[in-house]
Amino acid sequence: MESLINDSKLRLQSDFGCSSNEQQIIASAPGRVNLIGEHTDYNKGFVFPIALPLRTVVVGYPNNSDEIQAVSLVVDGKVRFNVSDIQTGDPFWGDYFKGVVAEFQKKTGKQVPGFNAVFNSNVPLGGGVSSSASMEVATATFLEALTGITLDPTEKALLCQAAEHNYPNNPCGIMDQFISVHGKADHALLIDCLNESSKLVNMPSSTICFFVINSNVKHKLSGENNPFAERQKSCFKAAEICGKDFLRSVTLEDLEKCKSKMDQETYNRALHGVEEDKRTLEAAEVLIKGDFNRFGELMNASHDSLRDLYEVSCPEVDELVEIARKTKGVYGSRITGGGFGGCTVTLIDRDAVESLKDAVNAHYSRTASFFDGTASDGAKIHSIAFN
Ligand code: ADP
Ligand code: MG
């Protein structure tokens, strides 16, 4: 964290000539990994993520104008715009940031003062652990410090979600921004996506951890039919056939009763959604009790369902899951995130992590990368100049 901040300060000085620490505002927010509850958020179901010890930091200072200027240490291009005229455009990464400024102004009804800022991050970009939400939430937190306006935390997450919808144009669920705001060290967060409420669940032991492995593949999904939209449509259709507003309200009994009215694919997608909600609720309960064996079984069942019923896994990710499941000290392993590549999450004894890394390095057909999944804190203001 310290080097992320120090490197940002150096860049602030070299690009904008700011050397006075007194003027600087520093805020940060984490990336995340979802432990279980996949493809359930848009069905208003349950998700169970943790905030990762990987963060995006923003360091900046007011520049006594109506203009905002920003650079990033991890992506090229300078972002420059007037606070009263916020348009999408080049460089693309600026849209994530501009969106938050625009939504912040819309929400508070106040124009923010101009400032210069530097972004830095150790969250891998596009690696499936949500660098985008960490950047949005870091920005919103920076704006809170800049303006002295404190947002309700859930409103802050919703504002950042709206920013991602309206500027970079990604119709994401609420999970990533929600955990980036509400994450807490040593806790996972059970989120109810119907009413945006949540419950912190304490990690019962420091001898286990959730270890994240990036397959380093992202399959290009070509063709006119977007597989994510297709799956959403199947879930909505199944809910409608069962006479419910959302799949979250459909029981297994409802689904069996209506099975004859839907095609096999629609039934399979819906069965995943209904069972995944049950698994997620049970997972939160067994984690509280410290029943890691059962938690691992639920993770394994989640993966198998995502692979066979929801069909969002891929051979490389399946390979990583199989290697993990054969490793001593592993309780369970599954794909995490949207799918078709990306990361796996594995519940493992902390002292077995090195042997898992060795097994992956020896047997995975490509090169993987590894992230520590220690549950960490959500967004923070590190330094505030004035208000
Ligand atoms: P993910 O959220 O899984 O990492 P996304 O495709 O949703 O992947 O978001 C990644 C994009 O977010 C990057 O390509 C970049 O445009 C933007 N971004 C994230 N973090 C930063 C950062 N620190 N500086 C500049 N842009 C960033
Ligand atoms: Mg993202």
- Let me know if residue 123 belongs to a domain: yes
- Let me know if residue 234 belongs to a domain: no
- Let me know if residue 297 belongs to a domain: no
Q: Which atom of ligand 1 is closest in space to residue 74's alpha carbon?
A: 24
Distance from the CA of 105 to the center of ligand 2, in angstroms? 22
**Residue 127: its pLDDT value, please?**
81
User: pTM score > 0.90 for this model?
Assistant: yes
**Residue 387: its pLDDT value, please?**
38
- Let me know if residue 77 belongs to a domain: yes
Q: Which residues line ligand 1 (CB under 6 A)?
A: 56, 72, 74-75, 92-93, 96, 119, 121, 125-128, 130-132, 135
Distance from the CA of 92 to the center of ligand 2, in angstroms? 13
**Residue 128: its pLDDT value, please?**
82
Q: Which atom of ligand 1 is closest in space to residue 73's alpha carbon?
A: 24
Range of the domain at 15: 2-200+376-384
Distance from the CA of 92 to the center of ligand 1, in angstroms? 10
* Ligand (nearest to CA of 175): 2
Backbone angles phi, psi at 262, to 5 degrees: -130, 155
> Residue 98: which of 107, 85, 109 has the closest Cα?
85
CB 47 within 8 A of CB 37: yes
- Let me know if residue 53 belongs to a domain: yes
**Residue 21: its pLDDT value, please?**
66
**Residue 386: its pLDDT value, please?**
47
- Let me know if residue 143 belongs to a domain: yes
Nearest residue by C-alpha to atom 2 in ligand 1: 130
Q: Which atom of ligand 1 is closest in space to residue 75's alpha carbon?
A: 25
**Residue 265: its pLDDT value, please?**
98
- Let me know if residue 110 belongs to a domain: yes
Nearest residue by C-alpha to atom 26 in ligand 1: 93
Count of beta carbons in the 10 Å neighbourhood of residue 360: 23
**Residue 17: its pLDDT value, please?**
85
> Residue 23: which of 62, 69, 71 has the closest Cα?
62
Nearest residue by C-alpha to atom 7 in ligand 1: 132
Predicted complex ipTM = 0.98
Instruction: Count the domains in the chain.
Output: 1
Tens-digit pLDDT profile for the chain (387 aa)?
A: 889 999 999 999 999 987 666 679 999 999 999 999 999 999 999 999 999 999 999 999 999 999 999 999 999 999 999 999 999 999 999 999 999 999 999 999 999 999 999 999 999 888 889 999 999 999 999 999 999 999 999 999 999 999 999 999 888 889 999 999 999 999 999 999 999 999 999 988 889 999 999 999 987 665 566 788 899 999 999 999 999 999 999 999 999 999 999 999 999 999 999 999 999 999 999 999 999 999 999 999 999 999 999 999 999 999 999 999 999 999 999 999 989 999 999 999 999 999 999 999 999 999 999 998 999 999 999 987 543
* Ligand (nearest to CA of 79): 1
CA geometry: angle at 371 spanning 370 and 377, to 5°?
175
Nearest residue by C-alpha to atom 9 in ligand 1: 132
Distance from the CA of 167 to the center of ligand 1, in angstroms? 13
- Let me know if residue 141 belongs to a domain: yes
H, E, C per residue of the chain: CHHHHHHHHHHHHHHHCCCCHHHCEEEEEEEEEECCCCCCHHHCCEECEEEEEEEEEEEEEECCCCEEEEEECCCCCCEEEECCECCCCCCCCHHHHHHHHHHHHHHHCCCCCCEEEEEEECCCCCCCCCHHHHHHHHHHHHHHHHHCCCCCHHHHHHHHHHHHHHCCCCCCCCHHHHHHHHCCCCEEEEEECCCCEEEEEECCCCCEEEEEEEEEEECCCCCCCCHHHHHHHHHHHHHHHCCCCCHHHCCHHHHHHHHHHCCHHHHHHHHHHHHHHHHHHHHHHHHHHCCHHHHHHHHHHHHHHHHHCCCCCCHHHHHHHHHHHCCCCEEEEEEECCCCEEEEEEEEEHHHHHHHHHHHHHHCCCCCEEECCCCCCCCEEEECCCC
* Ligand (nearest to CA of 127): 1
Hey, which residues are catalytic here?
A: 176
Domain of 87, CATH number, reads: 3.30.230.10
CA-to-CA dists, residue 249 to 40, 135, 233, 242, 245, angstroms = 12, 33, 16, 9, 7
Distance from the CA of 110 to the center of ligand 2, in angstroms? 27
